[in-house]
Every structure is written in C-alpha cells, then in structure tokens.
C-alpha cells in the first residue's frame, strides 16, 4: 500500500494509504418520482424484489445448462446502490452507472443497439443510457479462461464450436485467437439478457483506470435497463480484475435512508483496497468483528457466512442448521448481498424471530397494523411513532450472531422502521420469510438465507477476501466519507 500513498487524485476520488475511495449513490436520490411515492409502495416493491432475488439464488439444485449461467439481478430500483465508472479511451470516456452487486461476478452495461423488453415505465439512474461498444474495446477470444468462466467453465473446444470454428481448428485447438467468445445468455429473477464479452479501458477515478478490463456489452435484456458491477468472488468481478494491491479487500458503508430521498444528501463510501489495520477513524471507532467465509462449490462467487443465532430482546433463537454450513451441492449458509434489500431467513427461523418480536411488542401494548402488512409485504407491522421516546423503549433490541463470536447488534431503524401510511404512523419488522431452508417448499436449494443491504446500513462491511472473512463495524457513514475524502 505504500506505493499508493504517492499517487494523488482530484476531488473526492482519492487513492491513498486507505485505498481508493469511490462514491455510491442510492437510487432514491436520483429518481425524482420517488419523492412523491408513498413509502409503503417503495417497501412493497423492495420486499417483492428481495423475495424474487433470494428465491432465484435458490431456484436450481443442479448446474444450469452449459452456456446458460444463472445470475440474479435487481428487478426495480428503490433501495439499491449505484457506482459510476467510465468506459472507452481517456480522450472520449463515457460515464456509466451500474448497480453494486456482491451477489454476482460480472460487470455489464447496456450497449447500442439495445432492446429492453418489458422495461416500459421503469425509472433509471443517471448515466444509464445505452452506449455504443467502446471504440478501444475488442471481443474476448473463445479460448480465453474468462470466456470459459463466463460460460460456466465450459471447455474451449465447446466454446470454439459455439463460435462456429472450423472442425479442423477445433480438433487442433487453434481457433481461439481468431474467433470471439460466443454470446452469453444470462437468466435472472423474471428476466434475462444477451451480451458479448469485451475487453477495454474502464476508469474508476480521475487518474485510475484498468486498460484491459473484461466486461459484457448487453444488446438485449428482459426487464432490466440498468447494468451491474459484480463484486462477487469470481474472476470476472470488478475487484478481481484490479491490481493485487486493490483486489484483496474492499468495504462499503451504506448511509441510512429509511426510503426517503432527503436522507441521501451525501454519498455512501466504497473503499477498494481497504486495509483493516487503518480502517478506524479514531480511538472512539469500534473494531471490526469478523466471521469466516464459507466455500460454496456451486456458487463460488457468493460471500457465504454462518449465522448461528438471532437475539430478540433477552431471547436467543438458535438458527436453522442449514444457515451454518454449505454442502457439496451449494445448499446452505447466509449470503452477504448488497443487491438484496431485506434480510431473508428460513421459514422456521423467521417464524420464531417474528413470534418473539410479536410477544415483546404485545407486552409493550403495541397494536398490530394489518393493513400495512398487506400494503408492504412485511410482517408484523404496528402502529408506532418513531418520535415517541416511550414507544421506542418498547421495541426490543435485535442482534445477529455469526460464527467466530461475531455479534452484530442492529440499530433499531435497521429492523423496525417508522413511516407514514395513509396518515398514520406505523412501523414494520424489516426481515422477511425466505421459505423452507431445505428447498422442498420452493423446488430449489442454494443459500438458506440472505443478509440484505437495509440491515447493513450504518456499518462498514469489510470483504477481506485475502483472509477469507467478512467484517462488520458500526460507523457514521457520512463521517467516514468526510474523513477519507479530505485525505
């Protein structure tokens, strides 16, 4: 990291001993119509998207057909975070806004000519219009290991055949240099995309760029007009393609928004190459608590961790065993996912958490708001005024306990948020039922749970890939941004 200290960048994008600082923008702050959209509508949209994304992770026990890799993507904006990059030569670089997604490992964006089916009326962030393929980029060869990685590890001979190489070239393994990687078909949620793998210049900051970055140009999508910056553990992810100094660790700190655009005046910091040794702002800043990463043989790009228990007030609820391990088929564990809004728990664990929460709320004389449950897709909901200090004292504390003695005590607004619904003050438990942990109820396997970005607000989340762990530290994210951007 010492070499980084002598490189200076302009504005808030600064490469330093603490890594490369980049701003994340919540989609709420870039979509004008959300200022007038009732909060319960945004909550409903996000709860549906969270459920769809979690179940897509769990949709298939077996590997997808060769060349048809599964990828889960955001279905609609509302509580997602975007990262701005630039593509093309430095003299003619064009900005693109991409969703930050730790649950996938591909960087892609819309390329002209571009057709997006079933996208009518979907709002999009700034800098998300289709661009022509960058003039300095070129198609990736079908013999490239990254082509194989993008096609679910298909062997080069099969890829050469898909690229319509002559038979004699396939037999002599000589077609790679002259034939491009075949188009990729990706399925996700309730849609899909078709893209070509290309290699070219991608800029991260004013004076920081990767010259031979591999990305995908999508020419046809279903239901998704915005690209994605995959931050997963695969070779195609954005962190994996950076220099060794920046690729082994990154962190972000998501500014709390409560589904209100006026809470998002300043950006959320994303730090590439973040060093745990220099992560504290001062003596008052808490240390990270770390939990080890679990290997997922079916989904190696997931950041899977072991959730052992959930505490509601003084009640400690043991988590389903499936949340503590990943088997050979890739089933189990909890995925730390920046692209899912609400945390998803297996049916039994969720039911016990909701029951304990409900008992505590009933003891504090809160009244159920069942209409709000139907409106938001969240349950249980109660009539609750966030400004009422007495009411706040009645809401039980909630904590997540991960392997490695890593306890993450959530701020109240991360699991019980107050909002206005039809003129009344209400609040809902911001956790969701993720279905049967065994997969028997939804026809699939995969991760047993998902840790969503709403529960990650107000924490610096450290993805320490080199050390095989994920860390959590309570932070004032705006203060972290101010401190790092001044250096």
pLDDT on residue 71: 36
Task: Say if CB 15 and CB 487 are below 8 A apart.
Answer: no
Token pair of 460 as six digits: 């610096």
What is the pairing mode between strands 459-464 and 268-272? unpaired
pLDDT on residue 64: 37
Choice between 339 and 260, residue whose per-residue pLDDT is larger: 339
Provide the sign of the torsion angle of the four alpha carbons 143, 149, 151, 157, taken in this order: positive
pLDDT on residue 12: 34
Mean confidence (pLDDT) of the chain: 81
| pLDDT beyond 70 at 278 | no
Percent of the chain with pLDDT over 90: 45
Residues 333-370: pLDDT tens digits?
Answer: 999 999 888 999 999 999 999 999 999 999 999 999 99
Residues 184-210: pLDDT tens digits?
Answer: 887 655 557 889 999 999 999 877 899
Query: Which of 259-263, 333-337, 450-454 is least confident?
Result: 259-263
pLDDT on residue 34: 47
Token pair of 203 as six digits: 């800029």
pLDDT on residue 5: 34
For residues 391-405, give the mean pLDDT. 95
In angstroms, the CA 249 to CA 273 distance is 5
Which helix (H) or strand (E) segment holds residue 376: the answer is helix 370-376
Find, among 171, 180, 241, 185, the residue nearest to 65 by Cα.
185
C-alpha distances out from residue 140 to 113, 182, 184, 288, Å? 19, 9, 12, 40
Query: Which of 94-98, 132-136, 154-158, 403-407 is least confident?
Result: 154-158
The secondary structure of 118-168 as a DSSP string is T-TT----TT-S-BPPPTT-EEPBTTSHHHHHHTTT--HHHHHHHTT--HH
| pLDDT beyond 60 at 55 | yes
Residues 129-141: pLDDT tens digits?
Answer: 788 999 999 999 8
Active site residues: 101, 337
Angle at 258 between CA 433 and CA 120, to 5 degrees: 75
What is the pairing mode between strands 191-205 and 138-139? antiparallel
Residues 294-325: pLDDT tens digits?
Answer: 999 888 889 999 999 999 999 999 999 999 99
203-213: string of b/e by CB count within 10 Å (b at 16+)?
bbbeebbbeeb
Provide the sign of the torsion angle of the four alpha carbons 428, 25, 15, 1, taken in this order: positive
pLDDT on residue 49: 73
pTM above 0.75, yes or no: yes
């Amino acid at each position: 990291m010492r070499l980084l200290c002598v490189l200076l960048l302009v504005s808030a994008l600064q490469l330093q001993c603490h890594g490369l600082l980049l701003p994340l923008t919540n989609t709420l702050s870039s979509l004008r119509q959300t200022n007038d959209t009732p909060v319960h509508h945004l909550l409903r949209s996000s709860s549906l998207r969270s459920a769809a994304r979690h179940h897509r992770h769990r949709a298939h026990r077996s590997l997808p057909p060769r060349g048809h890799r599964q990828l889960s993507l955001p279905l609609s904006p509302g509580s997602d975070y975007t990262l701005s990059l630039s593509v093309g030569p430095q003299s003619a670089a064009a900005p693109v806004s991409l969703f930050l997604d730790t649950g996938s490992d591909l960087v892609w964006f819309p390329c002209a000519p571009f057709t997006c089916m079933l996208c009518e009326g979907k709002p999009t962030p700034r800098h998300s219009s289709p661009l022509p393929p960058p003039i300095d980029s070129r198609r990736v060869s079908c013999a490239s290991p990254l082509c194989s990685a993008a096609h679910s590890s298909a062997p080069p001979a099969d890829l050469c055949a898909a690229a319509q190489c002559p038979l004699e070239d396939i037999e002599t393994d000589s077609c790679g240099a002259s034939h491009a990687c075949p188009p990729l078909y990706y399925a996700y949620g309730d849609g899909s995309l078709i893209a070509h793998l290309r290699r070219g210049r991608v800029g991260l900051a004013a004076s920081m760029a990767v010259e031979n970055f591999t990305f995908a140009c999508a020419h046809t999508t279903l239901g998704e007009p915005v690209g994605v910056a995959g931050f997963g553990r695969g070779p195609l992810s954005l962190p994996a393609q950076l220099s060794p100094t920046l690729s082994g660790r990154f962190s972000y700190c998501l500014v709390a928004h409560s589904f209100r655009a006026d809470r998002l005046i300043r950006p959320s910091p994303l730090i590439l190459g973040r060093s745990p040794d220099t992560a504290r702002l001062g003596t008052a800043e808490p240390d990270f608590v770390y939990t080890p990463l679990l290997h997922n043989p079916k989904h190696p790009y997931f950041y899977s961790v072991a959730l052992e228990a959930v505490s509601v007030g003084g009640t400690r609820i043991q988590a389903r065993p499936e949340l503590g391990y990943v088997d050979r088929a890739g089933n189990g564990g909890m995925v730390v996912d920046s692209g899912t809004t609400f945390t998803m728990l297996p049916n039994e664990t969720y039911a016990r958490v909701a029951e304990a929460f409900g008992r505590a709320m009933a003891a504090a004389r809160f009244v159920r708001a069942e209409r709000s449950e139907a409106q938001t897709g969240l349950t249980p909901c109660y009539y609750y005024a966030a400004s009422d200090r007495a009411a706040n004292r009645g809401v039980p504390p909630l904590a997540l306990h991960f392997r490695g003695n890593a306890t993450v005590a959530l701020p109240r607004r991360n699991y019980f948020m107050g909002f206005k619904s039809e003129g009344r003050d209400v609040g809902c438990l911001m956790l969701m039922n993720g279905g049967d942990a065994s997969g028997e109820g939804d026809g699939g396997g995969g991760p047993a749970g998902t840790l969503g970005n709403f529960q990650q607000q107000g924490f610096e989340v450290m993805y320490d890939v080199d050390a095989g762990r994920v860390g959590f530290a309570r932070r004032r994210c705006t203060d972290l941004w101010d401190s790092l951007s001044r250096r």
